[in-house]
Structure 1
Amino acid sequence: MNQTFQECIDECLRCIQACNHCYDACLKEEDVKMMADCIRLDRECSDICSYAAEMMARNSPFIKEICELCAKVCEACGNECEQHEHEHCQECAKACFRCADACRKMIA
């Protein structure tokens, strides 16, 4: 497996962890309803990052398409999380943007 794949897989794994932490923390916020979009995107982002990492590890012929979608979902999640002041949201946004960059770099 080449270094670019491995770097992207590593960023996907870090993003999964950040999204899962953010998801769990958002569920404990006082106004959970306000966090609904963040929670939804955390779950979607975690899922696509997991799938992308798995497909890269398998050297799937669909890596380009999967990572393009992963970058798009990561960016959407990062944009949503960035709007919230909570530390877990801010950290999640950073992880999402790093993952989106890594996916785009990998398919370039």
Structure 2
Amino acid sequence: MSHENYPSVIQTLNDCITACNHCYDACLKEEHVNMMVECIRLDRECADICSFLAQAIGRGTPFISELAEVCVKICESCGDECKKHDHEHCQKCAEACLRCAEECRKIVA
């Protein structure tokens, strides 16, 4: 199982990583950063699991389905949290996370 089999998944994972990292950084600059703590935490979790899954796919791991299942859960959690905030960066991150969760579901299925 290599990255050649999942080009759209790899791209979606990378898009999610970018969105989460941007949201993370922008949340740290918000006036009421204490209200963004869970969003910041989940941005980090999500970017990390997406990065790990992209690397694992590239290596051809035999655990792709299990890792993708965890990625779905974390992406959904991050997307749901980001949707709660009105900031544009949070809304864009939510979209990227939920799109990523959907792509990763294809691997799990």
Unaligned regions of 5+ residues in structure 2, if any? none
The aligned runs of 1:14-53 (5 Å cut-off) are 14-53=15-54
SS at match of 1:85: coil
Q: Is contact 2:16–2:97 with CA below 8 Å preserved after alignment?
A: yes
1:8 is aligned to 9
Paired positions, count = 106
Q: Is contact 2:50–2:71 with CA below 8 Å preserved after alignment?
A: yes
1:92 is aligned to 93
Separation (CA, whole Å) in 2 of partners of 1:9 and 1:100 = 12
2:83 is aligned to 82
Separation (CA, whole Å) in 1 of partners of 2:76 and 2:10 = 16
SS at match of 1:35: helix
* Displacement after TM superposition at 1:31 (Å): 0.3
* Displacement after TM superposition at 1:106 (Å): 2.3
* TM-score (ref. length: structure 1): 0.96
Unaligned regions of 5+ residues in structure 1, if any? none
Separation (CA, whole Å) in 2 of partners of 1:34 and 1:55 = 34
1:24 counterpart letter in structure 2? D
SS at match of 2:86: coil
1:14 counterpart letter in structure 2? D
Separation (CA, whole Å) in 1 of partners of 2:41 and 2:7 = 27
